[in-house]
Structure 1
């Protein structure tokens, strides 16, 4: 393997005894030398099982050290790591396994009940976290470099959430993952002094690539978290003296309401990051009141996921902005006619850089639709202000066309979420014979007293144009969420269709 691709081996040489990874639940700690040794042992075992360059190695596990074991092991022998979303149904998992055809699968002992159901679909399987796995980690089977690995070879394949259809396997090369880490380290000024705790699911790019791998590359420390709660995260941040953390808006929603958040001063924290979905303004308010640095980012599995940087002071002035493009990527906003959007004009967000994905697995058509002339077409709509700061305004597919007017749900959601009695809100377009689509708001209230529809409409009139005001307000107990905490608007539409 080329020396510059096995950066873990080099990091272990530079920082052998530095704490690299800590398990939150057990407080078990691994140094860089230890995680490199583990990865080498697993790589040797995989070779012994017949895994060659280009073969897939799958993992079904909650957040666990085995994600790093298998990812780094695959990197050493040229295999492709495929983390599986354990929140999927058995049928969905089998469909993914049939698509990527892994030679080996690791199944965490927590999912032992699924072992017999899945092991027959794959030639070699192993229970992760058990005694058999521990024996693998003790092995010292030598690997060889007979199959040269290049930076364009695949390293990981992460399946998209599938909220817009069948999940697609996003193939990330060594180059994609390495350049996302380099870009993040330099643009965000990460260092070996930084510590994070990761509650993002590690089968998702946010759990692996957003902070974990960049921090390990620069010599920092990553704490593996699993079961998230507002109380738990505050305790762990202070216990491990974390400096940076990435959470999704739904996590921040529960965090800022916890007593522990109100009581803690977070002395070690430099910055709180939000990603995966646009963040409500009340979260900004909660952090500003405590004098804590907070900002948003933007990314997707196919690019990064890190693409922008904003200083936390700018984030308070430019609320809702994800900032400016990072050092080593380019951003463009394209209008429907293909021309580049002007200042404050909405266009589709296009991204270019060495951190972008290679292709979709077994899906050439989808690859050509998404990646054109080197640009990743994200399907997200954004605008850029006169100072060069970018704002995400919503998904292209979520834009509502009502009576010939374009409505961006995020604008309506932000205003409704600012209402003192609204806990959560989602806005979608529903079919209508007269208007084409009507703006519809699904609302979760903070109290049991039902908000009057006329009151909500009058509230919207204070800020929104008439055509943007929801024609329907639907009270719900909770909003459906995806496996990474995003509000699942596709499911909302399905629920309404069958209601």
Structure 2
């Protein structure tokens, strides 16, 4: 079969990029090589920004009325990263996060990526059935889910996840509402583990922080599913 003749250019928006369809009608992006991508892991990037701009604002969450400097983000992300191994999370393990646009979402991204685990993004618009199906597919070591996202109450999802995965998966409830189940840890409980676990976390943080290289998997995202089942897409640190 002859190659498809169409060439799609992005016009005035990004004039240096064109999309060409090959004989299998698969589109390949051709673009500039400058500036080069940074060869950094998430931990290295956060360390770099902390070293350069410790008191500059790194992230703002207006609805939470909270802002973090790079120093605060560095410290809080490492504290979360310390708690993850204490709860059994190791490099290359998947960790599911359904948190919406929040400070915790950013902290978890740097903490999970910082120890070489895979940050798995759950779209807040997923139905309860899609959430459960995704968790079954990914088999995460831990799940962090906000008690609510906007007008959407996640209490039912939390209960179902806790009941189904209580033996194999850590489930943490983000937010300030009362815990929906005894099988769920609150955000506070997760971050403030007991002394023996804290010592384990400190040892593991020293062992795992900065684990891996820029080509390793950082996160898994899911396609919109408009043409079929949602597909998992892996992105690297780079």
Q: TM-score range by the shorter chain?
A: 0.5 to 0.7
In structure 2, the partner of 1:156 is 219
How big is the shift at 1:135?
5.0
On the 8 A contact 1:107/1:126 being kept in 2, the answer is: yes
- Structure 1 residues 121 and 171: CA distance shift in structure 2, 3 A: farther
**1:19 to 2:52 alignment:** no
Distance in 1 (alpha carbons) for counterparts of 2:94 and 2:233: 13
Distance in 2 (alpha carbons) for counterparts of 1:103 and 1:120: 15
**1:145 to 2:188 alignment:** no
Higher relative contact order (CA 8 A, sep 6+): 2
How big is the shift at 1:99?
1.0
The partner residue of 2:121 within 80, 83, 86 is: 83
In structure 2, the partner of 1:119 is 162
In structure 1, the partner of 2:231 is 168
On the 8 A contact 1:60/1:108 being kept in 2, the answer is: yes
User: RMSD across aligned C-alpha pairs, in angstroms?
Assistant: 2.2
On the 8 A contact 2:60/2:67 being kept in 1, the answer is: yes
Secondary structure, counterpart of 1:26 in structure 2: coil
Secondary structure, counterpart of 2:140 in structure 1: coil
Distance in 2 (alpha carbons) for counterparts of 1:112 and 1:146: 33
- Structure 1 residues 22 and 138: CA distance shift in structure 2, 3 A: farther
- What is the TM-score normalised by the length of structure 1? 0.33
In structure 1, the partner of 2:101 is 63
On the 8 A contact 2:97/2:105 being kept in 1, the answer is: yes
Distance in 1 (alpha carbons) for counterparts of 2:128 and 2:189: 29
- What is the TM-score normalised by the length of structure 2? 0.67
- Post-superposition Cα deviations, 1:275-297, rounded to whole Å, max 9, x if no partner, equal xxxxxxxxxxxxxxxxxxxxxxx
In structure 2, the partner of 1:129 is 175
How many pairs were matched up? 173
In structure 1, the partner of 2:22 is none
Distance in 2 (alpha carbons) for counterparts of 1:162 and 1:31: 37
On the 8 A contact 2:115/2:208 being kept in 1, the answer is: no
How big is the shift at 1:144?
2.4
**1:96 to 2:159 alignment:** no
Distance in 2 (alpha carbons) for counterparts of 1:83 and 1:120: 21
In structure 2, the partner of 1:483 is none
- Structure 1 residues 29 and 138: CA distance shift in structure 2, 3 A: farther
How big is the shift at 1:137?
4.5
On the 8 A contact 1:71/1:81 being kept in 2, the answer is: yes
- Structure 1 residues 120 and 135: CA distance shift in structure 2, 3 A: closer
Distance in 2 (alpha carbons) for counterparts of 1:55 and 1:138: 21
How big is the shift at 1:27?
2.2
In structure 2, the partner of 1:34 is 72
- Post-superposition Cα deviations, 1:115-156, rounded to whole Å, max 9, x if no partner, equal 101223432101112383135446774202358402221110
Q: Work out which of the two has the higher radius of gyration on C-alpha atoms and give 1 or 2.
A: 1
**Runs of 4+ in structure 1 displaced over 6 angstroms?**
none
Secondary structure, counterpart of 1:11 in structure 2: helix
- Post-superposition Cα deviations, 1:316-357, rounded to whole Å, max 9, x if no partner, equal xxxxxxxxxxxxxxxxxxxxxxxxxxxxxxxxxxxxxxxxxx
On the 8 A contact 1:38/1:137 being kept in 2, the answer is: no
Secondary structure, counterpart of 1:145 in structure 2: helix
Distance in 1 (alpha carbons) for counterparts of 2:208 and 2:98: 29
Unaligned runs of 5+ in 2: 1-38, 149-153, 178-185
